[in-house]
Amino acid sequence: MTPSTGKEARIRALIEAITAHLRADQGATEGTDRTLTRLASTDFRSGSFADQAPVKSRHDAVLRQGIANIPAGSLAGIRSALVAATDDLAWHEDDMKYYPAGADLGAGYGQCNLHSLLVGPGACGFHHDDFSLGIFVLGPRTLYRDHRHDAPETYINLSTRTGWRFDGGSWADYQAGSIIFNPPNAVHATRVYDQPFVSVFSWLENIDGQCSVVPHSDWALIEANLEIEKSA
């Protein structure tokens, strides 16, 4: 199969690099195997490329900083492909359409979040009705508050270190290359340190299902400390 444009070749190369990383971890997590299964169900045949117009973000500097900080080693292939394809992608901010009116994911999340769909409805790569794969970015020193959603979700953490909490438990740091799986409606939160958070994400099914914020007593303290760090 020969891509018809350089843009198509670059986006295909990014999806292939993500797939290769998942295959190297096959069997390690449910999220790994289910994401590979959904990728196998996607139509990547010649002529299926969506070719959506690129969209540049107002957070372009944060995006490029985060990509530049992706370590080499096992993530070298994804990093190289993402660097090459960054300007081909359509970057969007969360419009909260899956959350109830008035849902509050926190000021930090609202100030700097980005995603670009490689696979899924309206993706800039390839269409799928009920599976999405893309790149997700948060700005430095951000709390992505505890939340849950109907869709089972897989992350590949591309950042050096990111904090995660599941079901309201204790925080734990995950290193670059970690694969994180959130079952349907499992509560989870993310804490970003001094560098942007960049990840691959996938929603495996029920991608039009509802999301909800799940309050936790430590939000105010964490966000206050993050603001102090920003101004230090």
User: What is the per-residue pLDDT across 169-183, written as a single tens digit (0 to 9) for each?
Assistant: 999 999 999 999 999
pLDDT tens per residue, range 77-121: 999 999 999 999 999 999 898 899 999 999 999 999 999 999 999
Question: Contacts for 28-34 with beta carbons within 8 Å, 24 or more apart?
Answer: 28/179, 29/154, 29/179, 29/181, 30/181, 30/183, 31/152, 31/153, 31/154, 31/155, 31/179, 31/180, 31/181, 31/182, 31/202, 31/204, 32/154, 32/179, 32/181, 34/152, 34/154, 34/204
The per-residue pLDDT for range 13-24, each reduced to its tens digit, is 999 999 999 999
Domain locations along the chain: 6-231
Specify whether the CB–CB gap between 154 and 179 falls below 8 A.
yes
User: Looking only at Cα atoms, what is the longest distance across the chain?
Assistant: 53
The 8-class DSSP code of residue 126 comes to B
- Dihedrals φ, ψ of 210, to 5°? -85, 155
CATH class of 6-231: mainly beta
pTM for the full predicted model: 0.96
